[in-house]
């Protein structure tokens, strides 16, 4: 989500799909004018570097007309994780109304390796500030991410408090706040 937000804020790109892979990771597929996609890929590399996360960012210029059959995945559901492995953005028009009504909101993410750690972190986050839990996503290997929403100050305070609670219970993988999330991030959120 953090990388997608940076990509969309860098260039005029649109998220096509987000697909979970076998490792704890996601394949983000974006489309747009070549220069914008290249700028978005550069932004993705930069943010990933700051977050100390390895990524592969590749740009396919003028994909062949038959290529979408390979890179556009059909909807898929993983019963082991009880969630979709292919996410297609929701209706932009539906989400635009919600965004207009909630200007200034933020999305916070706390990702851990270990369920106990993330559950304690989210409980602490909810007790710290007026935020709501949007979703939890299991990525395999014990990795789990919980997504919260609220105003920027509340989400920032909640994520900070939640991060501190993880120590000793599990491994903090990432904790981040996205103020005013991009349209692509909003389109992939479970509900707003």
Instruction: Note the pLDDT of residue 82.
Output: 66
Q: Which domains does the chain have, with CATH numbers?
A: 2-87 (3.30.70.1710), 92-188 (3.30.70.1710)
Per the prediction, the chain carries an average pLDDT of: 82
Residues 34 and 61 sit within 8 Å (Cβ to Cβ): yes
Least confident of 22-26, 61-65, 162-166: 22-26
In three-state secondary structure terms, 90 is coil
Confirm if 166 and 141 have CB atoms less than 8 A apart. Answer: no
Q: Is the confidence at residue 9, as pLDDT, over 50?
A: yes
125-136 pLDDT, tens digit each? 999 999 999 888
pLDDT in the model for residue 133 = 92
pLDDT tens by residue, 90-100: 644 444 444 44
pLDDT at 103: 54
Whether the predicted pLDDT of 64 surpasses 70: yes
Task: Give the containing element (helix H, strand E) for 77.
Answer: strand 77-78
- pLDDT at residue 30 greater than cutoff 50: yes
Model confidence at 160, in pLDDT bands (50, 70, 90)? Answer: very high
Which has more pLDDT, 23 or 51?
51
Confidence of residue 83 (pLDDT cuts 50, 70, 90): low
The pTM of the full predicted model, rounded to 2 decimals, is 0.71
Enumerate the H helices of the chain as residue ranges: 2-10, 34-50, 68-71, 92-101, 115-128, 152-166, 183-188
């Amino acid at each position: 989500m953090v990388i997608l937000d940076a990509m969309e804020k860098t260039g005029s790109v649109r998220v096509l799909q987000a697909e979970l892979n076998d490792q704890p990771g996601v394949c983000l597929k974006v489309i747009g004018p070549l220069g914008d996609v290249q700028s978005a890929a550069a932004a993705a590399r930069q943010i990933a570097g700051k977050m100390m996360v390895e990524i592969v960012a590749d740009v396919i210029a003028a994909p062949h007309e038959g290529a979408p059959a390979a890179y556009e995945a059909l909807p898929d559901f993983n019963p082991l994780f009880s969630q979709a492995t292919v996410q297609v953005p929701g209706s932009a028009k539906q989400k635009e109304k919600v965004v207009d009504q909630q200007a200034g909101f933020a999305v916070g993410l706390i990702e851990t390796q270990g369920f106990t750690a993330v559950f304690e972190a989210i409980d602490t986050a909810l007790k710290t500030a007026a935020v709501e839990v949007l979703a939890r996503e299991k990525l395999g290997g014990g990795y789990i991410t919980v997504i919260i929403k609220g105003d920027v100050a509340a989400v920032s305070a909640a994520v900070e408090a939640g991060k501190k609670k993880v120590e000793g219970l599990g491994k903090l993988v990432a904790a981040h706040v996205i103020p005013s999330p991009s349209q692509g991030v909003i389109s992939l959120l479970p509900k707003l």
